């Protein structure tokens, strides 16, 4: 009799747990519906008022005010302008962090949207347009919405949710610290200690209504390199009287292209070396004394990364020397590979399937873009995924890339993002409590 009673109790317990889970899921859906209109309003407001890395003063104030209105414990000024919120559930359990990045880019918007940015800022000593050309405005609005959803159901949450609103994901200005690495150094993953971290990114890579992720290496590591070339200034009519750093720089640019095309087995190791800046001279008839190049390196393997760095230094210095110039190379530490923890990915992927539908989940190829979310993943198990933002009437061949002045998204992606972040947090906490 005791065996039968015990089995009945287990079955009843399982039924009650299932019923409780279903009721919480229903409550989350209800709260997502209730907050969607405001999420769209927040997103448009943030889009119209973008701020550059480490300068997200207005955005962080908006976030902090919203979190406080929900009864969430708030810490501001983390890594300059970051905001950390702590929401304790009604029951004991693990701690999960949800992250959104807040910074815009030095891009002049050309979308023509009624809420398009007209903001101006200063970047590397220049006046520039400022735009949310990478979708961070949507990330902030989605996480603000998820905070409201989870605060509304907190009594049913077994554990704690930390909200990480991060500055400077695009990289702090040269000479400054910032971003995820600085947030970690200032204790964003402590008090209480975080057990897992989740982040998302929007793009037109997939149509609205789709989500994509892959286990293990998802996005590349990235480092910035800077090259300073010193020649000898002379009159443009007598170039033989000096050493032209522009010609040297042009040869260096061409030489750097051979690293990927001729010196790395790209069938095994995807690599990108791109020169994005080339600056020299002040007048058309003067051969200047100096020239400067700057670019980015993308790799997925630490050993290959070290080899590429060595090859860049060799190409730069030896080409300069062959022309009678000198050149120095600086390569910053950059960010590591965005690496999805295998166990956490297996645990959370059914939640995304529940939100989006299994048929709307995609495993993308490795992405040569980079994310400093990877610093969080070095500290605790992390899961990073993409949500589709391409309008249904735009074919994939016409997708607008992130960082374009024409980048925009279908706002139908917003409630799905709120639902996903809310359910991922709730499901992780429930699994930990069980």
| CATH code of domain 16-220+337-433 | 3.40.630.10
| R_g over Cα of the chain | 25
Please tell me the distance from the alpha carbon of residue 405 to that of residue 369, in angstroms, as a whole number: 17
H or E element that contains 80: none
Catalytic one among 103, 148, 207, 410? 103
Residue 4 — pLDDT band, cuts 50, 70, 90? very low
What pLDDT band is residue 18 in, cutting at 50, 70 and 90?
low
Least confident of 76-85, 213-222, 261-270, 420-429: 261-270
How are the residues of the chain apportioned to helix, strand and coil, as percentages rounded to the nearest 5? 40, 25, 30
For the cut 70, the answer to whether the pLDDT of residue 48 exceeds it is yes
Is 67 a residue whose pLDDT tops 70? Answer: yes
Say if residue 2's pLDDT is above 70.
Answer: no
pLDDT of 234 over the 80 cut: yes
72-98 pLDDT, tens per residue? 999 999 999 999 999 999 999 999 999
Q: Could you give the percent of the chain with pLDDT greater than 70? A: 95
Name the pLDDT band for 138 (thresholds 50, 70, 90). very high
Helix axes 136-152, 413-433, angle to 10 degrees: 50
Residues 6+ apart with CB under 8 A from 135: 201, 202, 203, 389, 402, 407, 409
* Residue 124 confidence (pLDDT): 87
**Structure tokens given for 206:** 């997939």
Mean pLDDT for all residues in the chain: 95
Instruction: Give Cα separations from 417 to 225, 247, 352 (angstroms).
Output: 35, 49, 10
Q: Are 412 and 36 in contact (CB under 8 A)?
A: no
Residue 359 annotated in active site:
no
The label of the residue with tokens 């057990």 reads 195
109 labelled catalytic: no
User: Which tokens go with 313?
Assistant: 């230094």
From the list 137, 169, 195, 410, the catalytic residue is 169
**Mean pLDDT confidence for 367-372:** 96
Residue range 351-369: mean pLDDT, rounded: 97
Q: Give yes or no for residue 233 having a pLDDT over 50.
A: yes
pLDDT at 7 over 60: no
Residue 214 is predicted with a pLDDT of 96
CA 220-332-403 angle, to 5 degrees, is: 50
What's the rounded mean pLDDT across residues 325-332?
A: 97
Domain boundaries, the chain: 16-220+337-433, 221-331
Q: Does position 345 have pLDDT exceeding 80, yes or no?
A: yes
pTM over 0.75: yes
Q: Encode 311-340 in three state secondary structure.
A: HHHHHHHHHHHHCCCEEEEEECCCECCEEE
- Residues with Cβ within 8 Å of residue 93, at least 6 apart in sequence: 157, 158, 159, 160, 429, 430, 432, 433
CATH fold of 221-331 reads Alpha-Beta Plaits (3.30.70)
């Amino acid at each position: 009799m005791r065996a039968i009673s015990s089995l009945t109790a287990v079955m009843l317990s399982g039924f009650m747990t299932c019923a409780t889970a279903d009721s919480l899921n229903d409550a989350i859906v209800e709260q997502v519906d209730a907050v969607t209109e405001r999420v769209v309003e927040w997103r448009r407001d943030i889009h119209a008022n973008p701020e550059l890395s480490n300068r997200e003063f207005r955005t962080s104030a908006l976030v902090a005010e919203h979190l406080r209105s929900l009864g969430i414990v708030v810490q501001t000024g983390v890594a300059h302008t970051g905001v950390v919120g702590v929401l304790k559930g009604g029951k004991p359990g693990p701690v999960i962090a949800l992250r959104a990045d807040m910074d815009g880019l030095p891009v002049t918007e050309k979308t023509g949207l009624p809420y398009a940015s007209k903001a101006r800022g200063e970047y590397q000593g220049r006046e520039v347009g400022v735009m949310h050309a990478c979708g961070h405005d949507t990330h902030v609005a989605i996480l603000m919405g998820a905070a409201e959803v989870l605060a509304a159901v907190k009594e049913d949450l077994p554990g704690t949710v930390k909200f990480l609103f991060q500055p400077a994901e695009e990289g702090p200005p040269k000479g400054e610290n910032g971003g995820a690495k600085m947030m970690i150094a200032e204790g964003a993953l402590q008090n209480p200690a975080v057990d897992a971290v989740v982040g998302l990114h929007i793009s037109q890579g997939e149509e609205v209504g789709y989500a994509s992720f892959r286990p293990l290496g998802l996005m590349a590591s990235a480092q910035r390199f800077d090259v300073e070339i010193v020649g000898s200034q002379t009159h443009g009519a007598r170039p033989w009287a000096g050493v032209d750093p522009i010609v040297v720089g042009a040869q260096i640019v061409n030489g750097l292209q051979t690293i990927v095309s001729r010196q790395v087995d790209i069938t095994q190791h995807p690599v990108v070396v791109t020169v994005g800046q080339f600056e020299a001279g002040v007048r058309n008839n003067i051969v200047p004394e100096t020239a400067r190049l700057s670019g980015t390196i993308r790799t997925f393997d630490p050993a290959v990364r070290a080899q590429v760095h060595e090859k860049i230094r060799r190409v730069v210095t030896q080409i300069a020397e062959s022309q009678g110039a000198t050149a120095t190379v600086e390569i910053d530490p950059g960010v590591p590979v965005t690496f999805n923890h295998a166990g956490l990915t297996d645990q959370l992927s059914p939640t995304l399937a529940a939100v989006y539908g299994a048929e709307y989940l995609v495993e993308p190829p490795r992405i040569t873009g980079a994310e400093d979310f990877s610093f969080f993943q070095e500290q605790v198990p992390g899961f990073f995924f993409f949500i589709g933002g391409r309008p249904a009437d735009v074919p994939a061949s016409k997708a607008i890339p992130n960082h374009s002045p024409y980048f925009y998204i279908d706002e139908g992606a917003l409630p799905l993002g709120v639902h996903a972040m809310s359910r991922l947090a709730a499901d992780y906490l429930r699994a930990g409590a069980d």
